[in-house]
Amino acid sequence: MIRIEGGRPLSGRVVIGGSKNAALPALAAALLTDEPIRLKNVPAVVDISTMVNLLERFGASWNRDQAGGLTVQVGRIAGTEAPYDLVRRMRASVLVLGPLLARAGRARVSLPGGCAIGERPIDMHLGALRKMGGTIAIEHGYVSASCGRLTGADITFPGKTVTGTENLMMASCLARGRTVLRNCAREPEVVDLAELLRAMGARVEGAGKDVIEIEGVDRLHGAEHRVIADRIEAGTYIVAAALAGEEVTVDCCEPAHLGALLEKVGESGSEITALPGAVVVRRPGGRLRSCDLATAPHPGFPTDMQAQFMAMMTQAEGRAAIVESIFEHRFMHAQELRRMGADIRIEGNTARVFGPTPLSGADVTASDLRASACLVVAGLVASGPTVVHRIYHLDRGYERIEEKLRGLGAAVEREKE
């Protein structure tokens, strides 16, 4: 668990690590070639270890250095099954489906099942892979897929899906002919994956736009790639600084990836300066102001920042309407915030936060990664200690969060559960 003694103002500089959600597909892409993929700026978080464990089952050897470098090589595919115990721990395991199918002609991946933040089915991944010639059956809780060589196709995703777009980009790199993917997710992580794939010899155009076109090639080769900065980790410290800070520099991030968030943090009363590779957050005197927001696919406000922003809105003057448009159950942190004294009312996919209300520290439990971050952020301004339990969720996606917050002056300790 993590214990936070609230009330210490944050100041100084925090360094942001590599993006978890960009590193995960980059690791899955290593399945597409027998040569080594050398990644830099890979965060030391549990989801990355889970993905590496999964790749080991498929025959990967790997090597990690102290400086965030991770090299993975899948010389020969030694297995094609992603078992329940790993997929259950991390839904992004589904990212191996496309590359395994493209390289080995078959894959068996456990269905992810229910998830704390919503249904999150993978029907869009499967529909698109079928269009490329994959034969897919769902049996015994597993997706069993097989194919000869995949063939290029014209595919329109019925809705925006980040890992779905990534899966299909990877699958089509080794397909016969041209694939056109329409209504693609435009997240920076999709663009980063396209860069790695191009470095591996793939012919991918349009990543970051609605339509991505891929001309299949016969083989891909090894490559070196630096993973982009984690915009959600950066966003979490930006919100923490806006809520509890004096002046904080969030360093080694990409302000261009943070547009919608920076706009809202500015609207709520903090002073934001975007520099090349850094964001400075200054909290002028006076109260924060409430502002409304609705989560949306990139470049909209990220669902992965909704919980942390809600923590901040508990201390803002007025009423904030927060609409969650991506995941139907992503308000479970609201209940825990209420236990700390927040006034939050939920109706359907809208949370109304009435502020400011003083928060008092409490024992709280989070149900997912970003909800845990929300509770840590709330703890920074609560009176008395806040103890966040089940922090394995936090460790899935935040590197050394207690050290980084301590570096900014917060009183945060990790303790045995």
Pick 121 or 384: Cβ nearer ligand EPU: 121
Rounded to an integer, what distance in angstroms lies between the CA atom of residue 60 and that of residue 64? 13
Whether residue 115 lies in the annotated active site = yes
Which residue in 115, 173, 184, 291 is the catalytic one? 115
By CB neighbour count within 10 A (0-12 exposed, 13-18 middle, 19+ buried), where does 373 fall?
buried
Element (H, E) at 345: strand 343-347
Q: Of 165 and 290, which CB lies nearer to ligand EPU in the complex structure?
A: 165
* Cα separation values, 321 from 61, 72, 247, 293, Å: 48, 45, 27, 6
Residue recorded with tokens 């591996």: 200
Within 13 A of 81's CA, how many CA atoms are on the CB side?
Answer: 5
Distance CA 162, CA 91 (A): 12
CB of residue 115 vs ligand EPU: minimum separation in angstroms?
8
Q: Give me 40's structure tokens.
A: 């830099």
Write out the H or E segment, with its range, that includes residue 213: strand 212-215
Strand stretches in 78-207, DSSP E: 81-82, 106-110, 135-139, 142-146, 154-156, 178-182, 203-205
Nearest Cα to Cα of residue 242 among 283, 285, 301: 283
Smallest gap, in angstroms, from Cβ of residue 354 to ligand EPU? 26
> Closest by alpha carbon to 372, among 112, 46, 17?
46
Closer CB to ligand EPU, residue 26 or residue 288? 26
Closest to ligand EPU by CB, 121 vs 148, is 121
Question: Toward ligand EPU, which CB reaches closer, 119 or 403?
Answer: 119
Nearer to ligand EPU, 112 or 245 (CB): 112
DSSP 8-state symbol, 18: B
* Most distant CA atoms of the chain, gap in Å: 64
C-beta of 289: minimal distance to ligand EPU in Å? 26
Q: How far is the CB of 378 from ligand EPU (least distance, A)?
A: 18
Nearest distance, CB of residue 28 and ligand EPU, angstroms: 10
Q: Toward ligand EPU, which CB reaches closer, 124 or 340?
A: 124
- 114 token code pair: 């229910």
CB of 166 to ligand EPU, least distance (A): 8
| Beta carbon nearer to ligand EPU, 58 or 301 | 301
Tell the residue number behind the tokens 């396209």, with chain if given.
194
Which residue has 């968030």 as its token pair? 261
Q: Are 188 and 254 in contact (CB under 8 A)?
A: yes
402 HSE (CA, 13 A, CB side)? 15
Handedness of CA 121, 117, 10, 285 (dihedral sign): positive
Of all helices (H) and strands (E), which one includes residue 347?
A: strand 343-347
Residues that bind ligand EPU (CB under 6 A): 21, 24, 91-92, 118-125, 159-164, 185, 189, 303-304, 326-327, 369-370, 397
Cβ(138)–Cβ(111) below 8 Å: yes
Rounded to whole angstroms, the Cα distance separating 150 from 169 reads 12
CB of 128 to ligand EPU, least distance (A): 9
* Least separation in angstroms between CB 94 and ligand EPU: 8
Which residues are the active-site residues? Answer: 115
